[in-house]
Amino acid sequence: MLEKLIVEGEELDSLAKDGAYVGKIISGLEFETWAAKVILYLEKNHTNSSLTEKAIKVNKSLGTNSYSNYQFLLGTLKAAKEFE
């Protein structure tokens, strides 16, 4: 499941668009679905991790600084993979 989420996340980068004033932005149903799956995975597999707590906070603010939040979520998954 972890590898699948990483691959899905990497593919989502193609949805990122240049925003007028904020750099890259990413949004849409595919992105929101992926982000929800990331949170569910982290809650299930890394319950007491401070990164899981941060990911939950990031997920609550996906509308703001979305590309940076996307990068954080994808980076968290890649870090989790290295420890499994």
Burial of residue 43 (number of CB atoms within 10 Å: 0-12, 13-18, 19+): middle
Q: What is the pTM of this model?
A: 0.86
Q: What is the mean pLDDT of the chain?
A: 88
The domain in which residue 36 lies consists of: 2-83
**What is the domain count for the chain?**
1
Quick: pLDDT tens for 14-36.
988 887 777 888 888 999 899 99
Residue 83 has pLDDT above 90, yes or no: no
State the pLDDT at residue 74. 95
Residue 62 has pLDDT above 70, yes or no: no
Angle in degrees, CA 41, 46, 49, rounded to 5: 130
